[in-house]
């Protein structure tokens, strides 16, 4: 039965569903975990250090949803599997995954070394795949599930000094489409969100540069940077039955940036 807080939510109602969010200690991950909780989902929030998840867990609880905070390092497959096991042991099922954990390090391509390349690709692409694999195995038991990968504008356009990051996010979009095609017969949908320019702890260094801010705003038709709440609607759409016939797609939330180039 739909709770009073979700009355009228309809197809976007996530009551009774369990969603795992990686990289949930701050930024996009924390914002999406809270939004999913507000629509009724039970949350499993993961980050490398569980103590860093306290603020997110409190926000989820204040939204009225059960929450489990777990240590989760997406570069460690055993850690991923342990997190999924903890989710199913606590809630008895897993219905969704938001593949959000990611890192970025802007550097001219001639200065990229193997260590940097491996760190970014291991987190953003390899980690995302094995998180999807572990979550997908649990979802297959239900005969349904939704995976939302957090892609990037660099999944679709080239950005100078962000070659490792762009490579990882381009690969993530390819992975989204391939998994969507393979897992549709077992009821698992796989889609992606590509955020435009949003200020988070990871991107804060850019926003401290006034010239950069002015230049970027000049390329965004809506003439503003994104607020984290701007991502919530798409995440709820993709996680819920509102998008039940949609898989293998990527939604750009960018204020019109891609449409204008």
If 0-12 CB within 10 Å is exposed, 13-18 middle and 19+ buried, where does residue 236 land? buried
Long-range contacts of 152-158 (CB under 8 A, 24+ apart): 152/194, 152/195, 153/194, 153/195, 153/196, 153/252, 153/254, 153/257, 153/258, 155/192, 155/194, 155/250, 156/194, 156/250, 156/252, 156/258, 157/258, 157/261
State yes or no: is 207 an active-site residue.
no
| Alpha carbon distance 258, 254 (integer Å) | 7
**CA–CA distances in Å: residue 160 to residues 106, 117, 156, 244, 254:** 9, 15, 13, 37, 18
- Of 165, 197, 207, 245, catalytic: 165
Q: Could you give the residue numbers annotated as active site? A: 165
């Amino acid at each position: 039965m739909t709770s009073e807080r979700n009355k009228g939510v309809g197809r976007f109602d996530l009551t009774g569903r369990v969603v795992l969010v990686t990289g949930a200690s701050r930024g996009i991950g924390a914002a999406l975990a809270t939004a999913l909780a507000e629509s009724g989902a039970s949350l499993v929030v993961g980050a490398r250090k569980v103590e860093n998840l306290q603020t997110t867990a409190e926000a989820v609880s204040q939204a009225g949803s059960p929450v489990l905070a777990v240590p989760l390092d997406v570069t460690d497959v055993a850690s991923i599997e342990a997190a999924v096991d903890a989710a199913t042991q606590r809630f008895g099922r897993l219905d969704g995954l938001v593949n959000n954990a990611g890192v970025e390090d802007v550097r001219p391509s001639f200065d990229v070394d193997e260590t940097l390349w491996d760190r970014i690709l291991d987190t953003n692409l390899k980690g995302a795949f094995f998180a999807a694999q572990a979550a997908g195995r649990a979802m297959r038991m239900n005969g349904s599930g939704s995976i939302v990968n957090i892609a990037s504008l660099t999944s679709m356009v080239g950005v100078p000094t962000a070659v490792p990051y762009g490579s990882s996010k381009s690969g993530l979009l390819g992975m989204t489409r391939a998994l969507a095609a393979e897992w549709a017969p077992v009821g698992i949908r796989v889609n992606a969100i590509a955020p435009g320019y949003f200020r988070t702890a990871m991107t804060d260094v850019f926003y401290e540069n006034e010239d950069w801010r002015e230049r970027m705003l000049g390329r965004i038709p809506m003439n503003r940077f994104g607020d984290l709440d701007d991502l919530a609607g798409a995440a709820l759409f993709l996680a819920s039955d509102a998008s039940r016939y949609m898989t293998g797609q990527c939604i750009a939330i960018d204020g019109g940036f891609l449409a204008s180039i």
